[in-house]
Amino acid sequence: MALGLTSEHLELAAAVRGWAQRHSPAQAVRAAADSEDRGAGRYRCELAPSLASQGLLGLHVPEAEGGQGYGLAELAVAIEELGRALVPGAFLPTVLSCAILTEAGLSGPAAKLIAGLADGSRIGAVCLAAGLAGEPGPDGGLTVTGDAGPVLAGSMADIIVAAVRTGGRAIWVALDAADLQVTGLDSLDLTRPLARLHADRVAVPAERMLTGLADSTVASLAGIMFGAEACGIADWAVHTAAQYAKLRHQFGRPIGQFQAVKHRCALMLTQAEQAAAAVWDAARTAPGGDREFAASVAAAVALDAAVDVANGCIQTLGGIGYTWEHDAHLYYRRAMSLRALLGPSAYWREQVARLALAGASQSVQVELPAGDAEFRAQVRAELAEIAALSSEERAHRLAAGGWVAPHLPRPWGRDAGPLEQLVIDAQLRAAGIRVPNLYIGAWVVPALIQYGTPEQQERFLLPTLRGDYLWCQLFSEPGAGSDLAGLTTRAERVAGGWRLNGQKIWTSLAREASWAICIARTDPAVPRHGGISYFLVDMRADGVSVSPLREITGDAMFNQVFLDDVFVPDDCLVGGVNGGWRVARTTLANERVSLSQSWAFGSGVPELLQVAGAADEVPLADVGRCVCEGRAIDLLGVRVTLKRISGTDPGATGSVRKLLGMRIAQQISELCLAMSGGSGATAASYGQPVGADGKPNGGHWARQVLLTRALTIGGGTTDIQLNIIGERMLGLPRDPDPPTA
Ligand SMILES: Cc1cc2nc3c(=O)[nH]c(=O)nc-3n(C[C@H](O)[C@H](O)[C@H](O)COP(=O)(O)OP(=O)(O)OC[C@H]3O[C@@H](n4cnc5c(N)ncnc54)[C@H](O)[C@@H]3O)c2cc1C
């Protein structure tokens, strides 16, 4: 998913992509890389005027100052697209310098600098490295001396924004490059020059001093804009790798069918998606404390993503990727150069941790499109009535009114679209109403709506939505886990129904459940998926016996279930004889969605911060990494919702979220255990994240570490998720079918 979500952003991205294809195709990028000046001359003469005429250099500049009057979000979309095309020259440094000057609120004659940068008549650069020092000059200005760099596109620039240390603090200034000695450096990024600055008592007038500008503002803007370019690089690299993996054959197969390659590409995609979510969030956040946090997350996530994914692309391309001729190294070089200039990712992760521990808001804000006020009022009124009922009546009304799962079709749900779902969700919370947790019922209900008979729907749906029926899922068997089609539980025809015999395993909630969904083989002669049927089994029926199975925590949440001549009547067969596989697939798909929405099974970022606040030693960069990942997962969810609201297809981002959610919950518990010191060796037990002594509760975290191992196994293992992402999101070839017996 690219940065932009709205149709306006998608149109802008398409227009910028079209511009890049016309003005800076791959041959032009190559020519810049092969040229002495790294494409600087062509940028100044051709690309900058053309970018300016398209309004791209001043996208984020207020109209009064000669710009287009959009915001950082639009600029980030443009930067991403130009990064994807690896456009040579000084677009990024120019718009960054321009944004800094705009936020500094330059006035008087100096304000003309902004207009010059926006209309392409001047090129800007920003020195992110320290080294310049100043002393008070005449008329309130500064006299600047020192060396600083490297500066991206410094040798091309007319205006260079830099920090000058004076009187124990840093003041940002806008320097004329002509007043400095600018020495070109050999650039790792072959498509953009680099320079070092030397200032020898350069006089900076007061009007060029950006006195109100905080370091954090510059850092945030740089993090967002470098991050946006990093997203373009990462996206190019994922798709280049995936494309190649579909075409390149080795050992008689496309290499994308080998899981080592497929999973690498899928992981690359997840990293690129996280980067896009983080940068999108930072670019849409208004200046202030929240933006500093969001921008630090973006910088920590996106720059690493670009480097790692470009590296993965080279690895996937093999020998070709290592050649000078392939463009992969040009992207890799740019990614590494961006990260080197912005500062190490560990610094950004630590910054994220510091801000989070200091109370930076963790909640992801979504600005909903103005909805139908009448609809909100109507929902509020109906829910107010329900809130006043007794708990039993309330459960009835919630189920009968379709409030439990409003996205489902009526009468089971409310046919609510994405925006209506959000409104209902908000109003339920406002009314203090908790809808019942259906557990496995949450994925039984959609399967019955799609495949159940009217009688089955009548009999099971309302009681399930009311929370009267607790379900369990009799799918896995000792010999059939990921590959469910290998199951051996048999269902044989008898008068009025079926007799089931077999063993199920790892069944959650089997002792508590009143009903089960069960898949069994009804035709052994038909291979694999073909001969399977889907049954609803009464857990109190004769022949059903449940024996608890102890887990690694010592608890016994899941079970073995033995089916011994269990009679299941015909009216409990769903989806027809031998038609069970598609019903099971629907069930499993809904299970993945459900689990991706409740990734914090175990512990989340708030508990992590609580523990970090109590620990003697805090590995800040590791804490920051988890905070970043947790936030990226939340943002992915929000972006899926917003895409649905805007009517565009979110793709399979839910699978990415499920994969990342499983990982982060494990990582958080591992990190908290590490911060617990010696108490982590105490018996794994239930408890609070921080003990009564104010120290991290090692026993609790040991238990959480054990408990969260389940996340990467149940509901589809990590490897199975990576297969789904690789195949459904990147179009890589499916694993070969197993040989038929
Ligand atoms: C806490 C918990 C609750 C559960 N609850 C239920 C439940 O209520 N009902 C139910 O039916 N089941 C339940 N399960 C079972 C769960 O669905 C299975 O454990 C899971 O599908 C994996 O199957 P398996 O254990 O047989 O492992 P296997 O499929 O044997 O996998 C073993 C290893 O091989 C890898 N592997 C397998 N196939 C592939 C492949 N094609 N490509 C790459 N790698 C592969 C896996 O990733 C894994 O690392 C639960 C499991 C847990 C941990």
Contact 443 CB / ligand 1 (< 6 Å): no
Closest ligand 1 atom number to CA of residue 510 = 8
- Helices and strands (DSSP H and E) totals, the chain: 24, 17
Contact 511 CB / ligand 1 (< 6 Å): no
Atom 45 of ligand 1: nearest residue by CA position? 719
Contact 553 CB / ligand 1 (< 6 Å): no
Radius of gyration of the chain (CA): 30
- Contact of 181 with 166, CB cutoff 8 Å: no
Contact 447 CB / ligand 1 (< 6 Å): no
| Ligand 1 pocket: which of 551, 713, 725 to mutate (most atoms within 8 A of CB) | 713
- Contact of 268 with 309, CB cutoff 8 Å: yes
Contact 481 CB / ligand 1 (< 6 Å): yes
Distance between Cα 80 and ligand 1 center (Å) = 39
Question: Residue 519: enclosing H or E segment and its boundaries?
Answer: strand 515-521
Amino acid occupying residue 526:
V
Report residue 415: phi and psi, to 5°. 55, 30
- Contact of 724 with 655, CB cutoff 8 Å: yes
Contact 512 CB / ligand 1 (< 6 Å): no
Closest ligand 1 atom number to CA of residue 484 = 21
Distance between Cα 684 and ligand 1 center (Å) = 24
Distance between Cα 710 and ligand 1 center (Å) = 10
Distance between Cα 539 and ligand 1 center (Å) = 23
As averages over each run of 10 residues, the pLDDT of the chain (741 residues) reads 85 96 97 94 95 95 88 97 98 97 84 92 96 90 96 97 93 96 96 97 94 94 98 98 98 97 97 96 88 97 98 98 98 98 96 94 68 84 93 92 92 87 86 90 93 96 94 96 93 97 97 97 89 97 97 93 98 96 86 57 80 96 96 87 69 75 92 95 88 95 94 90 92 85 52
- Contact of 360 with 59, CB cutoff 8 Å: no
- Contact of 104 with 165, CB cutoff 8 Å: no
Closest ligand 1 atom number to CA of residue 440 = 8
Contact 475 CB / ligand 1 (< 6 Å): yes
Domains of the chain and any CATH numbers: 7-213 (2.40.110.10), 465-584 (2.40.110.10), 596-729 (1.20.140.10)
Distance between Cα 504 and ligand 1 center (Å) = 13
Alpha-carbon distance of 672 to 690, in angstroms, equals 10
For residue 707, what are its two tokens?
């408990």
For residue 366, what are its two tokens?
């979504």
Report residue 499: phi and psi, to 5°. -115, 125
Contact 332 CB / ligand 1 (< 6 Å): no
Active site members:
591
Which pLDDT score is estimated for 288?
A: 79
Closest ligand 1 atom number to CA of residue 710 = 53
Amino acid occupying residue 656:
V
| DSSP for 100-153, written as a single string | HHHHHT--GGGGHHHHHHHTTSS-EEEEEEEEEEEEE-GGG-EEEEEEEEEEET
Q: What is the pLDDT of residues 197-209, one digit of tens each?
A: 999 999 999 999 9
Q: Alpha helices, DSSP H only, in 407-498?
A: 418-430, 441-451, 454-466
State the CB neighbour count (10 A cutoff) for residue 593.
16
Closest ligand 1 atom number to CA of residue 504 = 11
Atom 25 of ligand 1: nearest residue by CA position? 481
Contact 473 CB / ligand 1 (< 6 Å): yes
Distance between Cα 557 and ligand 1 center (Å) = 16
Contact 560 CB / ligand 1 (< 6 Å): no
Q: Alpha helices, DSSP H only, in 171-251?
A: 215-247
Which pLDDT score is estimated for 469?
A: 95
| Ligand 1 pocket: which of 267, 506, 719, 735 to mutate (most atoms within 8 A of CB) | 506
Alpha-carbon distance of 379 to 403, in angstroms, equals 10
Distance between Cα 236 and ligand 1 center (Å) = 33
Closest ligand 1 atom number to CA of residue 508 = 8
- Contact of 409 with 449, CB cutoff 8 Å: yes
Distance between Cα 502 and ligand 1 center (Å) = 18
- Contact of 629 with 274, CB cutoff 8 Å: yes
- Contact of 218 with 153, CB cutoff 8 Å: no
Q: Which residues contact 213 (CB under 8 A, 6 or more apart)?
A: 100, 103, 104, 172
Which pLDDT score is estimated for 601?
A: 43
Nearest-CA neighbor of 352 among 600, 630, 635?
A: 630
Q: CA triplet 23, 25, 29: central angle to 5 degrees?
A: 100
Distance between Cα 130 and ligand 1 center (Å) = 53
| Ligand 1 pocket: which of 476, 550, 659 to mutate (most atoms within 8 A of CB) | 476
Contact 508 CB / ligand 1 (< 6 Å): yes
